[in-house]
Amino acid sequence: MARAYRPVSGVYEKNPGSGIWYIRYRIKGKLVRKKIGTRQQAIDQLDKVRFLRASGEGVVAVSARQYTRTKQELTELGEGGITIEQLGAEYLAHIQDENNPDRPLDQQNPPQRIRAIQAAFGDRPAASIKPYEVTDWLKSLKLAPATLNRYKSTFSAVYRYAKERAKLTVNPVRDVPQFSVTLPDPRYLKPEEERRLRNVLQKWIDDCPEHHRLTKLFLRSHPLELTIAIGTGMRKGNQYRLRWDDCDFTRRVIQLPKTKNGKPHSIPMIDDVYKALREQRKRPVLPCGISTVAGVRRILRSARAGDGEEERRDGTGSMPTQGDAARYQTADLATAAGSGRYDADPVAQGAADRDGMAGQPHA
């Protein structure tokens, strides 16, 4: 009969007699279990983990899929051992740099995605990431395919930025295939649906007490906002970054200096949009809107009351309208909360200057 092994703390055989040994240890308060191989290999690996954890002379795996490497091993990889945490921080600083001419307009979603990437791969050497690991992680998020593609794009941009600065020579995310996106059939806003939306906005105006003069003035801007959104098809960000200098009333053209893809765009003013902008310019106070999801859904529920239509689950409420110039692509009726400041220059302040009035019909 074979002599029983002397127990070693942190080394165990999950299935007795299988010959496959595991190790377990704690790092940063997290219990990590890893399959190693033979018993001696497991003991050697655990000794390595304990040494690196105490000395800091390398990187200790914080999950079963990661690798524990010494500084020498990291150097032999040829990438200096730079981690995803470091690359993410550098790329985040790059896209948030106000002096960066390619600074993205969206300063909310990319940072959020970078933080998610850092949480998943932060302590891993960037050169050790494999394409299948990226694919498995994206699938584990359980998000829509289009959203996963955005995460993938951000992850790849982190590597691309590192390669531009000679910090890496690889980009494993490029080998990850795009997720297939099935677009729904386009839905167009019907005249009766537009009337219901305007009825809701008008009811808000009528129900607002006369002594709430500032709130009532804000609410009276909503129909104009909706007219501009429907008549131009602008995204909310473009609509609320407009300045009067961008509006050519002589030629009846709106010039967008920078759109989502970074290129300028010209939009003709149809008669309704021309009149709405002229009316808005007469008003000294910036429009207040309803940029919160709750506020948007409140209007949609009110407008759809009695028709039995369920609310869109994607939260966009995107409803194209008739005509090329009237495509309705705005995420929330193209309304955003203003600050209430007096300013004669901007058409609107933008969603960044939100106040507590968002989505509320009364002060």
Question: CA–CA separation, 286 vs 349, rounded Å?
Answer: 7
Alpha helices (runs of H) in 220-290, residue ranges in sequence order: 222-232, 236-239, 271-281
Q: CATH 1.10.443 region(s) of the chain? A: 191-307+317-353
pLDDT for the residue numbered 51: 92
| Tokens matching residue 125 | 């050497």
Residue 2 burial (C-beta neighbours within 10 Å; 0-12, 13-18, 19+): exposed
Answer yes or no: are the C-beta atoms of 32 and 64 closer than 8 Å: yes
Count of other CB atoms within 10 angstroms of residue 323? 12
Question: Per-residue pLDDT tens for 145-181?
Answer: 999 999 999 999 999 999 998 888 889 999 999 999 9
- pLDDT band with cut points at 50, 70 and 90 for residue 345: very low
The arithmetic mean of pLDDT across residues 218-234, rounded, is 89
> What per-residue confidence (pLDDT) applies to 127?
85
Res. 1: pLDDT tops 60: no
According to CATH, where is 1.10.150.130 located in the chain? 84-175
84-175: CATH, from 1.10.357.10, 1.10.150.130, 3.90.1150.10, 3.40.50.300: 1.10.150.130
Cα 345 from chain centroid (whole Å): 30
| 3-state secondary structure at position 326 | helix
Rounded to whole angstroms, how far apart are CA atoms 31 and 59?
16
Residue range 299-317, pLDDT digits in tens: 566 666 644 333 333 333 3
Amino acid 80: pLDDT: 56
Please state the pTM of the whole predicted model.
Answer: 0.53
Most confidently predicted of 48-52, 184-188, 241-245, 323-327: 48-52
d(CA 328, CA 230): 5
Q: What's the pLDDT at 82? A: 83
Residue 121 sits at φ, ψ, to 5 deg, of -125, 10
Architecture per CATH, domain 191-307+317-353, reads as Orthogonal Bundle (1.10)
Q: Which of 47-56, 98-107, 185-194, 349-358 has the lowest mean pLDDT?
A: 349-358
Strand ranges in the chain using DSSP code E only, listed in sequence order: 11-13, 21-27, 30-37, 58-59, 69-70, 247-248, 253-256, 265-268
11-13/21-27 β-pairing: antiparallel
For residue 294, what pLDDT is reported?
47
CA distance readout (Å), 7 to 13, 23, 45: 10, 12, 16
DSSP letter at 351 equals G
Q: DSSP letter at 310?
A: P
Sheet holding 253-256, edge to edge: 247-248, 253-256, 265-268
What b/e string do you get for 134-166 counting C-beta neighbours within 10 Å, with b at 16 or more? bbebbeeeeeeeeebbebbebbbbbbebbeeee
Q: Which of 339, 330, 341, 343 is nearest to 358 (CA)?
A: 339
Q: Is the pLDDT confidence value at 215 over 80?
A: yes
Query: Both ends of the chain: CA-CA distance in Å?
Result: 85
| Residue 3: band (very low, low, confident or very high) from pLDDT cuts 50, 70, 90 | low
The mean pLDDT value of the chain amounts to 77
| Interval 257-284: pLDDT, tens | 888 777 889 999 999 999 999 998 887 5
The reported pLDDT for the residue numbered 322 is 29
